[in-house]
Amino acid sequence: MKQRLKNKRLRNVAIIAHVDHGKTTLVDAMFRQSGLFREGQEIEDRIMDNMELERERGITIAAKNCSVTWRDVKINIIDTPGHADFGGEVERALSMADGALLLVDASEGPLPQTRFVLKKTFEAGLKVIVVINKIDRHDARPQEVLNEIYDLFIDLDATDEQIEFPLLYAIGREGIVQTRLEQKGENLQLLFETILDQIPAPEYDPELTFQMLVSDLGYSDYLGRLAIGKVMNGRAKNNDSLVCIGEKNRQVPLKVSKLQTYEGMKLKATEYADPGDIIVLAGVSDVKIGDTICTLGSTKALKRISVEEPTVSMRFTINTSPFSGREGKFVRSSKIGERLFKETLRNVAIQVEQEGETFLVKGRGEFQMAILIETMRREGFEFSIGRAEVIYKKKNGILLEPVEHLFVDCDEASLGIVTEKLSMRKGKIINMVNKGSSRVRLEFSIPARSLIGYREDFLTDTRGMGIMNAYLDGYEEYRGDFPCRFTGSIVADRQGISVAYALFNLEPRGQLFIGPGTPVYEGMVIGEHNRQNDINVNACKEKKLSNMRASGRDENIILTPYRLMTLERAIHFIREDEMVEVTPKSLRIRKTLLSAQQRYLNRTALKKAAL
């Protein structure tokens, strides 16, 4: 058996957790205490969340690399997303790590994404350090949370060695770590020492030449496409002649134009790459995530990165409304397709299929789709999107659908309405825990399609106090149909500018989405009808004027505040025959068939076909 060596000057660690359990805040504290910043230097909170959308929403969307140095050992840190829809980023990031820090909130305990990331960590065979964070919360229950973590490890079939995990307690915001609850910590020194002692140094075979697995892609205006990944074996130097091995063993020769490594959050040029280090390699024109870059003449591909299959699809198409081309910079289908296929290069969890001028985009969830749509919108794209639909499978002639394991945390007063609505959506209650604190924790097995559009109802029913999380639990037999929306749409019947007088008279019909002075067109959805059917209305109707004088002044029209439709609300609201028109400045809901006459003929034809 060949002897494998270790690069003891390196550690590669991924920080994994459920959303909002304090990963990025802990990385901030690690930066400060490792000497990365000079004393007194002003720095922003959550430095690693450098995307505009990340800072707005307060979540991590893309996995990112950075490094700190402790006792002359370089620690490469990979900050991963905590939301289930971005699970592909976690799977990609774990391919660069040799160990993981699992953060768990001292109050909330292990949640669905905690299970998902831990399962992937075990599959990768990585060493885990458990950190129970936020122990300073007034509702912290660290001892109970620790028992829940042990239950989770056992439930995921952890080995005896994995269950004997190192345990730390932390207050990430203050940069404090301690081994016991009663012992007050002072800094993060204990965390750094535990990483050096417990996370294994990267191993490599000294007899093998350079091999690197591409785990991420970047782009530079000066250097072109960048390949980011971990050096598995050997060394590489500037101007080396290498080869990129793609899918189906396709080989593309390349020459290294520049080598860079991570120093803090920045990239630093280097002459050579050590085995085990995470590097950024320039000079690659045609590369994909999962490819192997190795020495020319010694072409042996590494195992490709594999991610779980997508469960949700959404159709992207050109904007065909009367207002198309007014606000967007990129409106043609070729530009939209080019941008979507470019996204598949960086995001391994997204797949794109072209059907004429329509693109079927497949991903992990509607939130992942919403982030992609919002990103494209800010880049100047104008397009239309359809309703999110789950991806079905067939096995032995039986239709299967993705099923989620749903966790609901709400107050006792909301228990009845939440259970009733989830039961109507084919949800089955699995477990209920009432800890006597007026809060109830419920677990459901529910079809993934049932959760599309439900979040808005859930927040309304729980008065904004409910918490809902889920993870994919596999595929089961189709559970049957159910109504997804009990209301219809208020649809404009002509093009023009909305008038306060017309909107005032439409208010008894339902909730409006627009105010006076808004441009509308035939087929545009301007509100939610109280009843199940759609109605066509004239939103541009003005008050009839005459030369007769009134004895008193006209009534002053005061409109009820309308519901502003955000992107997520619009995606949740639309039905199968509706679309969302997305432009850099506006969001509009519209019917797929704009003409009222065409919609009537289509309905009649469907009724005749059903007979």
168 found inside a domain: yes
Last residue of a domain, one of 157, 176, 201: 201
Of residues 322, 583, 571, 355, the one with CA closest to residue 451: 571
pLDDT of residue 1: 44
Q: Are residues 236 and 141 in the same domain?
A: no
The CATH number linked to 114 is 3.40.50.300
**Looking at the DSSP assignment, which residues form a beta bridge with residue 535?**
490
304 found inside a domain: no
The count of structural domains within the chain is 5
Q: Are residues 379 and 466 in the same domain?
A: no
Of residues 334, 331, 335, 367, the one with CA closest to residue 350: 367
Among left, alpha and beta (phi > 0; psi -120 to 50; other), residue 480 is left
289 found inside a domain: yes
For the chain, 611 residues long, the average pLDDT of each consecutive 10-residue run is: 78 86 81 64 57 71 83 88 77 88 89 83 89 88 91 87 90 87 84 91 88 84 83 85 84 86 85 88 82 82 81 93 91 93 84 91 88 93 93 90 90 90 92 81 91 84 85 88 86 94 93 94 94 93 74 70 90 91 94 90 86 71
Q: Are residues 243 and 108 in the same domain?
A: no
Q: What is the DSSP letter of 163?
A: H
511 found inside a domain: yes
Q: Are residues 91 and 146 in the same domain?
A: yes
Q: Are residues 54 and 134 in the same domain?
A: yes
Q: Are 248 and 288 in contact (CB under 8 A)?
A: no
503 found inside a domain: yes
482 found inside a domain: no
The per-residue b/e assignment along 424-450, b for 16 or more CB within 10 angstroms, e otherwise, is: ebbbeeeeeeeeeeebbebbbbbbbbb
Q: Are residues 518 and 431 in the same domain?
A: no
**Alpha helices, DSSP H only, in 189-281?**
189-198
Q: Are residues 47 and 86 in the same domain?
A: yes
Q: Are residues 45 and 171 in the same domain?
A: yes
301 found inside a domain: no
Last residue of a domain, one of 247, 263, 295: 295
pTM: 0.84
Q: Are residues 83 and 131 in the same domain?
A: yes
Domain limits at 347? 312-390
483 found inside a domain: no
Burial class (CB in 10 A: 0-12, 13-18, 19+), 536: middle
Number of helices followed by number of strands (H, E) in the chain:
14, 37
- Per the document, the length of the chain is 611
Q: Are 204 and 276 in contact (CB under 8 A)?
A: yes
3-state DSSP of 361-406: EEECCHHHHHHHHHHHHHCCECEEECCCEECCEEECCEEEEEEEEE
pLDDT of residue 378: 93
pLDDT of residue 444: 93
The CATH number linked to 466 is 3.30.70.240
Q: Are residues 241 and 329 in the same domain?
A: no
Q: Are residues 380 and 525 in the same domain?
A: no
The CATH number linked to 218 is 2.40.30.10
Last residue of a domain, one of 167, 184, 201: 201
Residue 26 belongs to what H/E stretch? Answer: helix 23-33
Pairing of strands 251-255, 351-355: unpaired
Q: What are the strands, taking DSSP E only, across 388-542?
A: 389-390, 393-395, 398-411, 428-434, 439-447, 467-477, 488-492, 496-497, 510-512, 519-520, 524-529, 535-537
pLDDT of residue 509: 93
Q: Are residues 281 and 364 in the same domain?
A: no
Residue with tokens 């469907």: 606
CA distances from 287 to 224, 250, 279, 292, 572 (A): 12, 11, 15, 9, 36
